[in-house]
Amino acid sequence: MAVDIDHIRAQFPALHQEVNGHPLIYFDNAATSQKPKMVVDAIAHYYNKENSNIHRGVHYLSQKATDKYELAREAVRRFINAASTEEIIFTRGTTEAINLVSTCLSNWLFKAGDEIIISAIEHHSNIVPWQMACEQSGATLKVIPVLDSGELDMDAYRALLSDKTKLVTVNHISNALGTVNPVEEITFLAQEKGALVLIDGAQATPHMTVDVQSLNCDFYCFSAHKMYGPTGVGILHGKKEILDKMPPYHGGGEMIKEVKFEGTTYNDLPFKFEAGTPNIVGGVAIEAAIRFIEEIGIENIAQQEAELLAYATEKLQEVGGIRFIGEAKEKAGVVSFIIDGVHPYDAGTILDKLGIAIRTGHHCAQPVMDRYSIPGTMRASFAVYNTKEEIDTFIEGVKKVKQLFS
Amino acid sequence: MTILEIQEEIIEEFDMFDDWIQKYDYLIELSKSVPLIDEADRVEGNLIKGCQSKVWLHAKKEGEHVRFMADSDAIITKGIVALLVRVLDGQKCQDIIDNELHFIDAIGLREHLSMTRSNGLVSMIKQMKIYALVFQAK
């Protein structure tokens, strides 16, 4: 293996604990990853030594905090290879980033008769905001169907595209199935029709190199907490030419240039979309999380996780009586499955008793479960600190579940 | 038997188990042993949707007493559902309203009532009390 797993695991105090009398095996990384010590230390250090409000105040601490926050913005820019820091907007998370775009576009761009295309394998956070946008603007929602394999039906997608299409949005990687969507092609086809493209990258940034300039999408959203960073901070990347035209989202301090009762002028990018005091420490911590990833190398992380995914899939197949939900050729991070005749809730409960944390249920993607006519799945999702030995123990747990419920 | 007595009886039963696996084996047995709800009552209107598992609950009034019928699509949930029905089925409205269900805590299954589980059980208990309130008011 390309990574020094012992060295990596030593940086995660949360991994070194017992749960229900067993060493914790944490396979719920698609929900949120654990945090390395350097991220936790960055948070403590900021509050202990550097805390101040930013972009205001001439005093030393304010300047220091501002520098750190803007350094984080630059780290994010570098991480996804954005053209400039003006295109990096801090949000509360992927969900807020998507809502920012959907709200601003409903106020500005969408009108009755327009069409918004999403896919059948979206997280609720990339469905509901667009349903709300449609309600408000009179636009219509169209859905790219998914094939049995968990891959999007690209022929159906081409057929859905038309001059009415104003926006296309899909996830980069499906949280429920692990499918890696062909986002470059999806983007290209949409832009040929003059539509904007938003990619929900929440599940992608922890697992693969993301280059927003080569993807050429108009918006890319992701969350820090799924990539070793803190909760409560996310990123909206938008192309400058579109963000410049888009009206602001929230009003308040920070996002203004000049406020008069006769009218207000808005601040430049990215501050136009960052009303109020932001999650400063979140910014500081995301910078540390990116440093953590870069020190290992995202390619090494991807390779490690691909090996884990292949190993887990193979071992589950050997158990027998397993139905995989999502068997796309391109998959990352996630193995979603059900054991024949066993409810995921029952399985998850027993695995928890064995100290194994997986996710069970519909993964905030109910339409996906409906598509496969199942109540939910068992989902094991991996991070760089997971090991094949942990998978072996997990497989023993799966066998125990089978034995109990059959 | 009163609600309190049935709860004490269940607590005693669970006291016999040495470890969690025996406890869950027993829940699995309970889920198999009871015909919990008529197929005709397994309908959308009686469905309590949890994030993780589903629970069906139907109730009818027999004199001063409430009869409960319930089911779940998950076996462990169904085992706990069977226990809840055993405690509250056939009891008087006022007793159902007044009595605390302390047995779940006592037998070490409280985690199944936590918010994160979202298995429909918390809503089921609430709904059982609501049925008792409504039937009493009638």
State which residue of chain A sits closest to B117, comparing Cα positions: A345
Provide the strand spans (E) within B14-123.
47-49, 54-62, 65-72
**Which chain B residue is nearest to residue A377, measuring alpha carbons?**
B52
The helix/strand/coil state of A312 is helix
Q: For residue A104, indicate whether it is catalytic.
A: no
Please give the structure tokens belonging to residue A376: 């939910």
Average pLDDT over residues A128-137: 98
Q: Does B110 touch chain A (CB under 8 A)?
A: no
Residue of B nearest to A352 (CA): B111
- Interface mutation target, options A338, A340, A343, chain B, most CBs of B under 10 Å: A343
Q: Judge whether A358 and A351 are in contact, CB under 8 Å.
A: yes
Predicted-complex ipTM score: 0.89
Mean residue pLDDT across chain A: 96
Q: Is residue A145 over pLDDT 60?
A: yes
Pairwise CB contact (< 8 Å): B53 & A345: yes
Has residue A133 got a pLDDT over 60? Answer: yes
Note every long-range contact of A60-63, with CB atoms under 8 Å and residues 24 or more positions apart, other chains counting: none
Per-residue pLDDT, A406:
81
- The better pLDDT of the pair B119, A311 is held by A311
- Quick one: tokens of A204? 């992608």
Give chain A's count of helices (H) and strands (E): 14, 17
Interface of B with A in 86-105 (CB under 8 A): none
Is B74 an interface residue toward A (CB < 8 Å)? Answer: yes
pLDDT in tens, A43-61: 999 999 999 999 888 899 9
For domain B3-137, give the fold: Sufe protein. Chain: A (3.90.1010)
Q: Nearest residue on chain B to A345, judged by CA atoms? A: B52
The predicted pLDDT at position A221 comes to 98
* Residue bearing the bigger pLDDT, A164 or B116: A164
pLDDT tens for each residue of A81-110: 999 999 999 999 999 999 999 999 999 999
How many Cβ contacts (< 8 angstroms) between chains A and B? Answer: 40
Tokens of A84: 């400039």
| Confidence check: pLDDT of A328 > 90 | yes
Domain boundaries, chain A: 5-31+297-405, 40-294
Which of A350, A360, A376 lies nearest to residue B24, judging by beta carbons? A350
Chain A CB within 8 Å of residue B119 CB: yes
Residue in B21, B51, B73 closest to A362 by CB: B51
Domain ranges of chain B: 3-137
pLDDT > 70 in chain A, percent: 100
Per-residue confidence (pLDDT) for residue B120, from 0 to 100? 79
CA distance A128 to A361: 19
Task: State which CATH number among 3.90.1150.10, 3.40.190.290, 3.90.1580.10, 3.40.50.450 fits the domain covering A5-31+297-405.
Answer: 3.90.1150.10
User: What is the structure's pLDDT at A236?
Assistant: 98
pLDDT number for residue B24: 93
Asked if A388 and A311 touch (Cβ cutoff 8 Å), the reply is: yes
In tens, the pLDDT along B57-113 reads 999 999 999 999 999 989 999 999 999 999 999 999 999 999 999 999 999 888 887
Class of domain A40-294: alpha beta
Neighbours of A359 (CB within 10 A): 24
Contact B73 A375 (CB under 8 A): yes
pLDDT tens digits for range A239-289: 999 999 999 999 998 898 999 999 999 999 999 999 999 999 999 999 999
Arithmetic mean of pLDDT, B39-52: 83
| Contact in structure between A202 and A222 (CB atoms under 8 Å) | yes
pLDDT digits (tens, 9 = 90+) for B17-29: 989 999 999 999 9
Using the predicted structure, report yes or no on whether residue A319 has a pLDDT greater than 70. Answer: yes
What pLDDT shows up at residue B117?
63
Q: How confident is the model at residue A4 (pLDDT cuts 50, 70, 90)?
A: very high
Sign of the dihedral defined by the CA atoms of residues B67, B73, B78, B81, in that order: negative
Mean pLDDT score, A13-21 = 97
- Work out the number of other CB atoms within 10 angstroms of the CB of residue B32: 11
The pLDDT tens digits for A155-193 are 999 999 999 999 999 999 999 999 999 999 999 999 999
B68, B135, B70: which is closest to B97 by C-alpha? B135
- Which of A20, A349, A362 is facing B76, going by the closest CB pair? A349
Residue given tokens 């907490």 in the structure block: A225
| Residue in the structure block whose two tokens are 């001063």 | B64
Closest CA to A241 of A95, A83, A107: A83
Are A360 and B52 in contact (CB < 8 Å)?
yes
pLDDT band at B54 (very low <50, low <70, confident <90, very high): confident
Radius of gyration for the alpha carbons in chain A, expressed in angstroms and rounded:
22
